[in-house]
Structure 1
Amino acid sequence: MIRETWDELETGEKVGRMMFKSVRFADDQALFSQSARGLPALDDTLYKRCEENGMRIKDKKTKAMRFYKPSRASKLRLKSSATALRCVISFIVNSGDAASEKAGLGVLVSIERHSQSRPVGFRASVWQYLLHFNRPTLFEMDRKNRQQWIKDVLAKQIVDTYLPWKGSQIAGCDVEHIEGKKDNFASTTYAITIRLRKGEGGSEEYLSQSLFLKFIVDEQVVREALHSENQFHNEIMWYSKVVPRFDSLIKEAGIRDWNCDIFPKCFYAYYDVDDAVVALEDLRPKKFQLGDRYCLDVKHVEKALETIARSHALAYKWREVDGESFNEVAGSFKESTLNEQLDDTLKACNSRVMKALEKDPAYKDRLLKFQEITVNPYKLMRFFAKPKNNLATLCHGDFCRNNMLFSEGSENGNSTVDIKLIDFQTVRYASPAIDLSFFFFLSTTPEFRAKEFDRLFDLYHNTLLKTLKALSPKEKPEYIKNLENVFSLQAFKDDFAKHAVYGYFITAFFLPVMLVDDKTREEMSQLWEANDDRHVEMLANMGGENVTKQLVETLKEVLDRGYWPILENKV
């Protein structure tokens, strides 16, 4: 059996050499030109070459057309045409016929050998691809097999690709599945501890690093409902494109007293149409944990606002110094939360609050106006989520207590709070009020906001302006004055007033889920996962009078403060 497998692989390598030469030109045309004709040409060429050499394919139209969109062809910064070809063949050789698949693996081996500047051993390459293509996708694996795959394959990939660990040997690896849906329902998560050995003989050094692994959630219905592929695309874009650019802006400005440690360190990220994994620093050993489930105290609110202000300011600076690259990245984030299926749910949640407030005659006229504005909540939310002016920035998109970790400490006898922002799966280019209204309404109480809102909004603005100035150390006074005019406190207040209803709707949807017991939350999740319409009615009544009262106070605040969106006939 081993001999037969090896013969098929060697035959495949010969086919691979021919294919590599035959399709290189078509490959280059497909991926590095503006022409929309390139991808069909590549598909046709690959199909003909495989057919000529007895490699069976299920469908002439390969998944290359799905994976490489013509409109994005010129934007793919692939290292070589061989890399692109390897990706495309990986889709078409999986025909279900063992001999054809093994021959296809040989094709990949050939490409690997011909495209790398540093030769890769033939047998090592063969078994690397056997491991990859003879496994199911990650979400199809059972837990035991996935944990073994993490140990045997993923740990090595992380070590090989993370530059500071290059050349290290894995001395040990432990994997733990992290249970629970209460605060982490959008991912399947594992903790992994990798023990590394560097050097040889008497100069050996040892290192142990704990990582937090995020995979696309296992349940298919949840994957589809949450648009999990889009969410992971966004998170990988954030860690691979945004954080490095933020870090370079901080270094270029010579800032020493803070850096990008407001985000977890990313060690590895992988994404394709079937699988995705992100490996982040495990913050639990550093005592980071979620804050109170509802109603953060003032010191945690202050820290959160200061941190998001820095993130927003860094995005403004990036847009100023390199608008082209900023716009390319900002335009690449995918919609992952707002879909038409939400419309009925948002209507039901809003109706719950409005019916309760109708009992107060003081709000009758304003409530009628609000009802008219919010008749199509889905379209309204999509309108809020679009950039409209120069205050638009890169928003976290899900900026609430669930997506920030805190660590308590002390310095000179005073208590301190450190923070990390996590879960960048719903990033969007939009008004900063998308983050601010979401955070204020969902993570603080109406009583807290009545006392602290204006001061805390000023804190956010002052931190943002201070950050922008720190990022511009060599600019002249005229520049700073213009900065203060463009990003004035009044401009942010006006912008918040136009978008705050976004945060109200999010709160009407999420607050009931946050304030009920685990059993009730699980029942609602089961109905939702089963696509049972009863989950809408259940959500609209969840939490009883206590939740309704808090949501009514939030809507009163919206109406009392005059948070009316200017729709400009676009909704």
Structure 2
Amino acid sequence: MEVMIKKTMDSILKEDGLDPETCYEIEEEELVQWTSSVHKVIVKVKCNKKLDLFFKFLSDNTDISDSLDTEIFFRNEVTFYNEVMNRFIKFQQERNVSNMFTSVPKCYSAVSDGEHDVIVLEDLKAKGFVMLDKMKVMNPRELKLLMQELGKFHAISLAMKDQQPTTFERIKHSLEETVFCKRFLDKFGELYEFAISDALKMAKLNFSEDEKYLHKLNIASKDICEKMIEIVRAKEEDEPYNVITHGDLWFSNLMFHYEEESNYPDQIKMLDFQVSRYASPALDVSYILISSTDKQTRENHQTSLLQSYHRSLSDYLIELGSNPEKIFPYVVLEDQLKKYARFGLWLTLFNLPHTLDEGDSFQGQKQDNDIQEEAEGQTHTAINAVYSRKSQECQDRILDCIKYVVDSGYLD
């Protein structure tokens, strides 16, 4: 690992205008995660320059890598940084925008060739960014900032498709579906089915049989894996509204920066583009509205949050040189949510129990002696165990999410 870090560093320093022979020292801290091995690296260069970097490697646990097909997820993220984000940056620079979208960490290097698989990003913690408390929902200011930046991110796709359709066609096809595809669901589809089944059991205990919530949830959740494959598939009937999406915008993939001596967020960074795909923008929007809020927040702020998203998207489309009324009017956002917001519910039913779990959840870090199961069956057991120990708060939030989606007409 040290050899790969040094080799990558030599390349980065050379691109940064420094001689690769420049003396530097590396301070390293390793963080091991389920699908990757992460190294925080501080590089002190002789010329008093300092780089705080975040090295992300494929997991060296071959059992986990083989079970989860982590190389496919990793490759998709590399593609996002190299093919999508680099082209997005160039497109914005060519239009000389005044407030460029920068809510993705700077990428110094991204390689996936089977031998040297590494992504090197700026270390956001060193710049004052923090992750949110997973046990709490986002406050309205955090949600507004997230929606505004998501609007700008989606606007780049729409503007590029409008102005450079050939280039955009190439980059959209560079991404691959990593989760809702036959390859992955053949192994792990039953996990999603288990999560939906668990939610149905809760619904039966808390809603009467003649209530619309239980009835609509039961019908909509049948054949969930096949339906998810269809939901994430970009359809010609939805053009020209499809965009490059993040695909997994929840607390663990976001970092916020706050104004000094206040709780006002002034910057945000979106992380982990392993499941980025070309699809309806409603997938990202609905997942935020359902998973990162509670009942009170939705009741008080849903309309303003959607307006913040669309206003930001529209303003940035204008700055990029396209017409928002022609490309993405507000009524289209409403229609797309009616069609695809159930995506946000299904992901929430799967992920929320893991988010609020205080035990050894699937998303947590592992220790050397931790149970990183060698077989897919054992992995299933570890993940499913979370649902058996849901807190009352988790159950209440899930039930509120179901009611919200049904009351909004998103399961019609």
TM-score (norm 1): 0.65
**Amino acid corresponding to residue 368 of structure 1 in structure 2:** H
Task: Confirm or deny: 8 A CA contact 1:348 1:536 kept in the other structure.
Answer: no
Return the match for 2:320 from 471, 480, 488.
471
| Structure 1 unmatched ranges of 5 or more | 1-145, 198-204, 566-571
2:40–2:55: 8 Å Cα contact kept in structure 1? yes
In the alignment, what sits opposite 1:267?
A: 108
Aligned to 1:47: none
Shift of residue 239, structure 1, vs aligned partner: 1.6
Alpha-carbon displacement from aligned partner over 1:51-109 (angstroms, at most 9, x marks no partner): xxxxxxxxxxxxxxxxxxxxxxxxxxxxxxxxxxxxxxxxxxxxxxxxxxxxxxxxxxx
Q: Which of 504, 509, 512 lines up with 2:350 in the alignment?
A: 509
Q: Quote the Cα distance in structure 2 between the aligned partners of 1:362 and 1:451.
A: 29
Give the partner amino acid of 2:38. T
Among candidates 110, 119, 144, match of residue 302 of structure 1: 144
Superposed CA deviations along residues 367-412 of structure 1, whole A, max 9, x for unmatched, are 334322321111111111111212110001111121111111249x
Residues 1:324 and 2:166 are matched in the alignment: yes
Instruction: Please list the CA deviations of residues 477-522 of structure 1 after superposition, one character each: whole Å capped at 9, or x if unmatched.
Output: xxx3xx3144111110110121111111111111111112144667
| Aligned partner letter, 1:353 | A
**Deviation of residue 523 (structure 1)?**
11
1:205-248 per-position Cα deviation (integer Å, ceiling 9, x unaligned): 44221211000122223223433222222222222222222222
Identity of aligned residues (%): 23
- 2:35 pairs, out of 183, 186, 193, with 186
* Distance apart, 1:414 and its partner CA: 9.4
The equivalent residue for 2:9 is 155
- 1:289 Cα shift? 1.3
Residues of 2 paired with 1:279 and 1:386: CA distance? Answer: 30
Q: 1:343 to 1:168 in 2, by over 3 A?
A: closer
Q: Which has the higher contact order (CA 8 A, sep 6+)?
A: 2
Question: Does the CA contact (< 8 Å) of 1:230 and 1:336 recur in 2?
Answer: yes
CA distance in 1, matches of 2:365, 2:328: 46
1:437-487 CA distance string (max 9 Å, x none): 222222111221122111101110111011101111xx7xxxx3xx31441
> Is contact 1:290-1:402 (8 Å) kept?
yes
Query: Displacement of 1:261 after TM fit?
Result: 2.4
C-alpha distance in 2 between matches for 1:273 and 1:335: 19
**1:556 aligned to 2:410?**
no
Corresponding pairs, count = 397
Aligned to 1:289: 130
Closer, same or farther in 2 for the Cα pair 1:461/1:523, shift >3 Å? closer
Shift of 1:287: 0.7
Cα displacement (A) at 1:560:
0.9
Which residue number in structure 1 is paired with residue 29 of structure 2?
177
The whole-number CA distance in structure 2 between the counterparts of 1:368 and 1:262 is 40
1:367 corresponds to: 214
Distance 1:281 1:307, change over 3 A: same
Query: C-alpha distance in 1, partners of 2:216/2:140?
Result: 34
Instruction: Name 2:272's counterpart in structure 1.
Output: 423
User: 1:357 — aligned with what?
Assistant: 203
Partner of 1:207: 49
Give the drift of 1:253.
2.3
Structure 1 range deviating more: 548-557 or 238-247: 238-247
Counterparts of 2:263 and 2:297, CA distance in 1: 24
Q: How does 1:95-494 map to 2 (within 5 A)?
A: 146-151=1-6, 153-160=7-14, 162=15, 164-179=16-31, 181=33, 185-197=34-46, 205-256=47-98, 258-293=99-134, 294-338=136-180, 339-340=184-185, 341-358=187-204, 359-361=206-208, 364-365=211-212, 367-388=214-235, 389=238, 390-410=240-260, 415-472=264-321, 480=323, 483-494=324-335
| Alpha carbons of structure 1 residues 287 and 402: separation in structure 2 relative to 1, 3 Å | same
Instruction: Give the counterpart letter for 1:156 in structure 2.
Output: D
Q: Which moved more, 1:323-332 or 1:422-431?
A: 323-332
CA distance in 2, matches of 1:155, 1:543: 44
Change (3 A) 1:433 1:225: farther
Tell me the distance in 1 between the aligned counterparts of 2:326 and 2:164. 21
- Alpha-carbon separation, structure 2, partners of 1:351 and 1:319: 40
RMSD: 2.6
Q: Does the 8 Å contact 1:395/1:435 carry over to 2?
A: yes
Is the partner of 1:361 in helix, strand or coil? coil
Deviations 1:126-173 (A, max 9, x none): xxxxxxxxxxxxxxxxxxxx235423x33223323x2x3253533122
Contact 1:249 1:318 in 2 (8 A): yes
- What TM-score do you get using the length of structure 2 for normalisation? 0.88
Structure 2 unaligned spans of 5+: none
Q: Distance in 2 between matches of 1:520 and 1:243?
A: 31
Q: Please name the residue that 1:540 is paired with.
A: 387
- Separation of aligned partners in 2, 1:250 and 1:437: 26
Between the aligned partners of 2:254 and 2:242, the Cα distance in structure 1 is 22
Q: State whether residues 228 and 336 of structure 1, in contact with CA within 8 Å, keep that contact through their aligned partners in structure 2.
A: no
Query: For residues 180 and 363 of structure 1, do their structure 2 counterparts lie closer, same or farther at Cα, with a shift above 3 Å needed?
Result: farther
Q: Which moved more, 1:327-336 or 1:523-532?
A: 523-532
CA distance in 2, matches of 1:223, 1:414: 39
Q: Which has the higher helix share?
A: 1
